[in-house]
């Protein structure tokens, strides 16, 4: 009361204590169910202990072994065993570093980081990042699953709470990275409700990848797996040329040239032997392809009528070869005796979009579409390089079955190149550093996961070596058997 006026008391805001439902059960029911509850509790405890042993096998087995040796044999035996084990590990690391790192070091690191970083901070971080939910007094928390440390990254599985979407995690990638002391975080959708977070600590592709020695073995060239660099997991980065069309997109200086020359480098023995024929168009007046013209059976340093005529010539060849193959074979093979043709167009936009002559522009676009859409089976591959992936520039991006996104400016460009949803699985090509030209995200049709990789660094000196490889006097040029006249001849 204040003066004569009545003031309503403040509403009660305390949390009313809630009693669990079983509290209200009759006493005899509680007594009867007690042994069952105890057994279930025991089972739960055993399951938790087994899960703990599986999650921390090194710590659990190691701890148990130390305890048992100490109890049964005493301190000196324990010291001796520890020293012997340490010596054994040092010898293993010295003799075979890679297997030691994989089987011992990463295992220990995994358990250490899980126990010291992810488990203690998981609840707080997910709460503060609004990734947990409170509803009717119950907390819904994303479940921390398997953790795998690989030195440069930690892979952390997460089961999302109901009604959550990967976009919510995607939007908090930076928050998560900073919270767990990582440089960046990628979000990958593994299956419904399950995500994998990649916490990146360093870039395994930070250093240029040197080109391997120039091979001279034609048999080693595999058109289904042309190795052009290294993936971030350390495996060779291979591109499929046979039965595939390749689009390489990147801002100026992103390293498109290195992808292009890495392909030529690997194909070199087959080109010299005549099994593969390179045809090139370089609208930049030869600045790129002019560095090694001997690799090409035909090359045009222009985007005008000559370039369009070359494209139309190849489109006609595609149709002619396809008509001969019809009903005989479904895919080009070496046994056909005809060379596999790789058409390289440096800056495709200059030819199909930036030409002032509308007629030339349309003819060029039609020819490239014919080659990309029909060239698969008769043995024609297009390697198109472009800076701007917009639909107005390359309206038929979907015809390229392998797409390589080097450094790009905006997230929307990544979606244009790699397709919807691929960026959400971690392919952040717009985040590639300017300091790492040649690094790219690659998406191949039929493979769900995009791959991050770096092309070989093909230097000017390497290009001189490549040019010498094609002009060397002792180069053996294998003549192709005469082209068969018809399907019957080819089948034989």
The reply, when asked if residue 252 is annotated as ligand binding, is yes
The reply, when asked if residue 256 is annotated as ligand binding, is yes
Residues 300 and 306: beta-carbon distance below 8 Å: yes
Mode of pairing for the β-strands spanning 236-239 and 226-231: antiparallel
Residues 340 and 486: beta-carbon distance below 8 Å: no
Residue number, 324 or 454, with CB nearest to ligand ATP: 454
Residues 6+ apart with CB under 8 A from 169: 131, 158, 160, 176, 187, 195, 197
Residue number, 124 or 433, with CB nearest to ligand ATP: 433
Mode of pairing for the β-strands spanning 133-135 and 138-140: antiparallel
Q: 452 - beta bridge partners?
A: 441
The reply, when asked if residue 467 is annotated as ligand binding, is no
**Inter-axis angle of helices 57-73 and 27-55, to 10 degrees?**
90
Residues 441 and 405: beta-carbon distance below 8 Å: yes
Q: Which of 463, 318, 436 is nearest to 378 (CA)?
A: 318
Residue 320 CB, shortest distance to ligand ATP, in Å, is 33
- 271/289 Cα distance (integer angstroms): 15
Q: Which of 441, 465, 457, 407 is nearest to 209 (CA)?
A: 457
The reply, when asked if residue 119 is annotated as ligand binding, is no
Residue 310 CB, shortest distance to ligand ATP, in Å, is 21
Residue number, 253 or 421, with CB nearest to ligand ATP: 253
Question: Length of the chain in residues, anyone?
Answer: 492
Question: What's the chain's Rg over C-alpha atoms?
Answer: 31
Residue 206 CB, shortest distance to ligand ATP, in Å, is 10
Residue number, 137 or 252, with CB nearest to ligand ATP: 252
Residue number, 158 or 352, with CB nearest to ligand ATP: 352
Residue number, 269 or 438, with CB nearest to ligand ATP: 438
Nearest residue to ligand ATP on Cβ basis = 438
> Alpha-carbon dihedral of residues 327, 330, 333, 337, nearest 10 degrees?
30
Written as one string, the DSSP assignment of 397-461 is: GGG-SEEEE-S-S-HHHHHHHH-TTTGGGT--GGG--TT-TTEEEEEETT-SS-EEEEEEE--HH
Residue 278 CB, shortest distance to ligand ATP, in Å, is 17
Residue 469 CB, shortest distance to ligand ATP, in Å, is 20
Residues 6+ apart with CB under 8 A from 393: 349, 352, 353, 386
Residue number, 387 or 402, with CB nearest to ligand ATP: 387
**Inter-axis angle of helices 460-471 and 256-272, to 10 degrees?**
20
**Cα 19 from chain centre:** 52
Residue 214 CB, shortest distance to ligand ATP, in Å, is 17
The reply, when asked if residue 419 is annotated as ligand binding, is no
Residue 209 CB, shortest distance to ligand ATP, in Å, is 7
Residue 212 CB, shortest distance to ligand ATP, in Å, is 13
Measured in degrees and rounded to the nearest 5, phi and psi for residue 96 equal -145, 85
Residue number, 195 or 455, with CB nearest to ligand ATP: 455
- 288/324 Cα distance (integer angstroms): 35
Residue number, 338 or 462, with CB nearest to ligand ATP: 462
- 409/250 Cα distance (integer angstroms): 9
Residue 262 CB, shortest distance to ligand ATP, in Å, is 8
- 67/71 Cα distance (integer angstroms): 6
Q: Which of 420, 370, 324, 392 is nearest to 403 (CA)?
A: 420
Which residues in this chain contact ligand ATP in the complex, by CB under 6 A?
A: 208, 250, 252-258, 387, 437-438, 454-455, 457
The reply, when asked if residue 327 is annotated as ligand binding, is no
Residue number, 147 or 247, with CB nearest to ligand ATP: 247
Residue 254 CB, shortest distance to ligand ATP, in Å, is 4
- 456/207 Cα distance (integer angstroms): 10
Residue 202 CB, shortest distance to ligand ATP, in Å, is 17
Residue number, 282 or 338, with CB nearest to ligand ATP: 282
Binding-site sequence positions? 250-257
Annotated binding site for ATP: 250-257
């Amino acid at each position: 009361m204040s003066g004569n006026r009545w003031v309503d008391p403040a509403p009660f805001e305390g949390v009313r204590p809630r009693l669990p439902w079983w509290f209200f059960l009759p006493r005899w029911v509680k007594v009867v169910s007690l042994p069952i509850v105890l057994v279930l509790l025991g089972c739960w405890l055993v399951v938790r202990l087994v899960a703990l042993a599986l999650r921390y096998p090194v710590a659990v087995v190691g701890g148990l072994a130390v305890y048992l040796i100490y109890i049964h044999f005493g301190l000196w035996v324990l010291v001796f065993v520890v020293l012997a084990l340490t010596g054994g590990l040092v010898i293993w690391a010295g003799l075979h570093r890679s297997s030691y790192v994989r089987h011992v070091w990463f295992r220990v690191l995994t358990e250490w980081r899980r126990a010291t970083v992810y488990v203690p901070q998981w609840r707080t971080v997910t709460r503060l990042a609004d990734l947990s939910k409170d509803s009717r007094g119950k907390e819904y928390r994303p479940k921390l699953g398997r953790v795998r440390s690989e030195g440069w990254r930690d892979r952390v599985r997460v089961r999302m709470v109901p009604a959550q979407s990967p976009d919510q995690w995607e939007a908090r990638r930076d928050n998560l990275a900073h919270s767990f002391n990582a440089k960046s975080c990628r979000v990958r959708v593994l299956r419904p409700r399950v995500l994998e977070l990649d916490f990146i600590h360093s870039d395994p592709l930070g250093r240029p990848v040197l080109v391997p020695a120039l091979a001279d073995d034609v048999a080693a060239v595999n058109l289904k797996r042309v190795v052009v660099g290294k993936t971030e997991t350390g495996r060779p980065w291979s591109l499929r040329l046979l039965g595939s069309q390749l689009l390489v997109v990147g801002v100026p200086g992103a390293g498109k040239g290195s992808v292009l020359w890495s392909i030529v480098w690997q194909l070199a023995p087959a080109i010299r032997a005549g099994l593969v024929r390179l045809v090139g168009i370089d609208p930049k007046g030869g600045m790129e392809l002019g560095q090694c013209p001997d690799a090409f059976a035909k090359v045009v340093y222009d985007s005008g009528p000559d370039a369009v005529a070359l494209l139309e010539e190849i489109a006609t060849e595609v149709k002619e070869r396809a008509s001969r193959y019809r009903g005989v074979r479904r895919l080009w093979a070496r046994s056909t005796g005809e060379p596999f043709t790789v058409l390289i167009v440096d800056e495709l936009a200059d030819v199909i979009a930036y030409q002032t002559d509308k007629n030339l522009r349309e003819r060029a676009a039609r020819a490239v579409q014919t080659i990309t859409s029909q060239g698969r089976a008769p043995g024609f591959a297009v390697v198109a390089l472009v800076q701007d992936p917009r639909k107005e520039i390359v309206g038929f991006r979907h015809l390229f079955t392998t797409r390589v996104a080097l450094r790009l400016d905006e997230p929307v460009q990544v979606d244009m190149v790699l397709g919807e949803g691929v960026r959400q699985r971690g392919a952040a090509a717009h985040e590639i550093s300017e300091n790492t030209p040649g690094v790219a995200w690659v998406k191949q049709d039929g493979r769900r996961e995009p791959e991050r990789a770096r092309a070989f660094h093909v230097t000017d000196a390497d290009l001189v070596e490549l040019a010498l490889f094609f002009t060397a006097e002792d180069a053996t040029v294998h003549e192709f058997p005469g082209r068969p006249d018809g399907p019957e001849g080819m089948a034989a």
